[in-house]
Amino acid sequence: MTEIMGVFGYPIKHSMSPEMHTAAFKQLGLDMAYHAFEVHPEFLEKAINGIRGLGLKGVNVTIPHKVAVLQYLDMVDDLALEIGAVNTIVNMNGQLTGYNTDGEGYLQSLLPFIKSDIKQMHVLIIGAGGAARAVAITLAKYGVRKITIANRTAAKATELALQCSKFCQSKDVSMEEAEKHLSDYDLLINTTSIGMTPHISQVPLSLDELRSETYVSDLIYTPLKTQWLSIAEKKGAPVLNGLGMFVQQGALAFERWTGKKAPAEVMKQAVLRRLN
Ligand code: ATR
Q: What angle do CA 186, 188, 193 make, to 5 degrees?
A: 175
pLDDT of 89 reads 98
Q: In the CATH scheme, what is the code of domain 114-237?
A: 3.40.50.720
User: Looking at residues 223-246, what average pLDDT do you find?
Assistant: 98
Domain boundaries, given as residue ranges, for the chain:
3-101+244-275, 114-237
- Residues 10-39 as b or e (16 or more Cβ within 10 Å = b): bebeebbbbbbbbbbbeeeebebebebbeb
pLDDT of 103 reads 97
CA–CA gap between residue 253 and residue 259 (Å, rounded) = 10
- Homologous superfamily (CATH) of 3-101+244-275 is Leucine Dehydrogenase, chain A, domain 1 (3.40.50.10860)
pLDDT of 92 reads 97
Q: Is the pLDDT of residue 27 over 90?
A: yes
In angstroms, the Cα distances linking 40 to 11, 45, 127, 128, 155 are 8, 10, 26, 25, 29
80 Rama sector, left if φ>0, alpha if ψ -120 to 50, beta otherwise: alpha
69-86 pLDDT tens trace: 999 999 999 999 999 999
Q: Is the pLDDT of residue 200 over 90?
A: yes
pLDDT confidence bin for 172, thresholds 50/70/90 = very high
pLDDT confidence bin for 205, thresholds 50/70/90 = very high
Nearest CA owner, ligand 1 atom 16: 152
Kindly give the distance from the C-alpha atom of residue 66 to the centroid of ligand 1, in angstroms, as a whole number.
Answer: 15
Residues lining ligand 1, judged by CB closer than 6 Å?
127-132, 151-153, 156, 191-194
pLDDT confidence bin for 137, thresholds 50/70/90 = very high
Nearest CA owner, ligand 1 atom 5: 129
User: Looking at residues 158-185, what average pLDDT do you find?
Assistant: 98
Closest atom of ligand 1 to CA, residue 153 = 19
Q: Is the pLDDT of residue 36 over 90?
A: yes
Q: Percent of the chain at pLDDT above 90?
A: 100
Q: Which residues are catalytic?
A: 66
Kindly give the distance from the C-alpha atom of residue 126 to the centroid of ligand 1, in angstroms, as a whole number.
Answer: 9
Q: Is the pLDDT of residue 276 over 90?
A: no
CA–CA gap between residue 3 and residue 31 (Å, rounded) = 7
pLDDT confidence bin for 62, thresholds 50/70/90 = very high
Closest atom of ligand 1 to CA, residue 63 = 2
- Mean pLDDT of all residues belonging to the chain: 97
